[in-house]
Amino acid sequence: MKEEKPNAVSSQTILVVDDEPQACEILSDALSSWGHNVEVAYDGSEALGKIREKKFTIVITDMDMPRMDGMELIEHIARDYAHIDVIAITGHIMKYKYTEVVEAGAADFITKPFSLNEFEAKLNRLIRERGLRNQLERLAVHDPLTSLCNRRSFEDTARREAMRAVRYHHTLFLFYMDIDNFKKYNDLYGHQAGDGLLVKVAELLTNSIRENIDTVYRYGGDEFIMLLPHLPVDQARRVAERVCWNFNLLEFKPTAFSIGIARFIEKSGSIDGDIEDMICRADKALYAAKKEYGKNCVHVDWESC
């Protein structure tokens, strides 16, 4: 086994943004030699396009660029891509103040000219801080039994995804799900077996979503929620039906799985109010799946679709 250096940092997926090709080449070569995956963009607009297509962990951006400068790019990332850390670079220290750049959302700021040693030290410090922050955040927002994101995490993500749906005019579906006859299963086989079933459901749901696009949560007890952006209603329904089918293949009798589906709609002028409305409609659709259609099925809130 290869021995890891005590101060080793994890490999990151980094986007270098600078309108000077030579600067991009120098930084990308250095970053690649340090074990990171690197792509380049030559202004803020191109960078945003790449960020929408690929999950970067760190963006290193120059400040003075055509079409979209570094400050505007930083503000976009801080607002829409909170998981990305930004290091800003500039040779114009009179034009850009450290405090202003950090307040806009950058994690650090470095002025030209700088040595690669200085740059690597700043980057490695950021990566270590990022790793510690991720560990703490994971403990705060994950369910300890299933390792799924918890209700608190859902509330944060739902708000962010709803804002994107409004801004970019795409669909956002919510699946409200629970296990039919779960109490009966617990009574028959015990709570330890019930916990095992919840873990199996978490695995099934995790394997049913698109990586880095959809998200799944343990909402409470035997209730689960999925958020699925960028889908037409017929495809959303097919995903839900496939989940129910795959659950039945597990053969945890006498249990089954029911799902209520609702789409996010702008109604009240309040993002939080509209999210609550979406949850309520999905919950009612789940209730209909159980009470009106005999459980073990999918029901869509057609009013919203």
Domain of residue 282, CATH code:
3.30.70.270
Q: Which of 87, 113, 141 is the last residue of a domain?
A: 141
Q: Are residues 243 and 110 in the same domain?
A: no
φ and ψ of 100, to 5 deg: -65, -40
Q: Are residues 247 and 208 in the same domain?
A: yes
Q: Are residues 83 and 212 in the same domain?
A: no
Query: Residue 217 falls within a domain, yes or no?
Result: yes
Q: Are residues 121 and 156 in the same domain?
A: no
**Where are the extended beta strands (E) located within 76-129?**
85-90, 108-111
pLDDT confidence of residue 1: 39
Q: Are residues 102 and 227 in the same domain?
A: no
Q: Which of 118, 141, 164 is the last residue of a domain?
A: 141
pLDDT confidence of residue 98: 84
Query: Residue 204 falls within a domain, yes or no?
Result: yes
Q: Are residues 32 and 122 in the same domain?
A: yes
By percentage, how much of the chain surpasses pLDDT 70?
A: 96
CA 161 – CA 148 distance, rounded (Å): 18
Query: Residue 33 falls within a domain, yes or no?
Result: yes
Q: Is the pLDDT higher at 9 or at 260?
A: 260
Query: Residue 284 falls within a domain, yes or no?
Result: yes
* Local confidence band at 106 (pLDDT 50, 70, 90 cut-offs): very high
Q: Which of 141, 170, 189 is the last residue of a domain?
A: 141
Q: Which CA distances in Å does 117 have to 34, 63, 72, 85, 244? A: 12, 21, 28, 20, 54
What is the mean predicted confidence (pLDDT) over 63-74? 92
* 33 Cβ neighbours under 8 A, 6+ residues apart: none
Query: Residue 8 falls within a domain, yes or no?
Result: no
What is the mean predicted confidence (pLDDT) over 8-26? 93
Asked if 225 and 236 count as a contact pair (C-beta separation under 8 A), the reply is no
Q: Is the pLDDT of residue 56 over 50?
A: yes
Q: Is the pLDDT of residue 6 over 50?
A: no
Domain that holds residue 287: 151-304
CA 145 – CA 143 distance, rounded (Å): 6
Query: Residue 4 falls within a domain, yes or no?
Result: no
CATH of the domain at 87: 3.40.50.2300
Q: Are residues 92 and 166 in the same domain?
A: no
pLDDT confidence of residue 305: 65
> What are the pLDDT digits (tens) for 172-186?
999 999 999 999 999
Q: Are residues 206 and 99 in the same domain?
A: no
Q: Are residues 95 and 215 in the same domain?
A: no
Q: Are residues 94 and 203 in the same domain?
A: no
Q: Are residues 128 and 259 in the same domain?
A: no
Query: Residue 47 falls within a domain, yes or no?
Result: yes
Instruction: Take residue 66 and report the two structure tokens written for it.
Output: 């055509």
What does pTM read for this prediction? Answer: 0.61
Report the domain count for the chain.
2
Handedness of CA 199, 200, 203, 209 (dihedral sign): negative
Query: Residue 2 falls within a domain, yes or no?
Result: no
Instruction: Take residue 272 and report the two structure tokens written for it.
Output: 């939080």
Q: Are residues 161 and 257 in the same domain?
A: yes
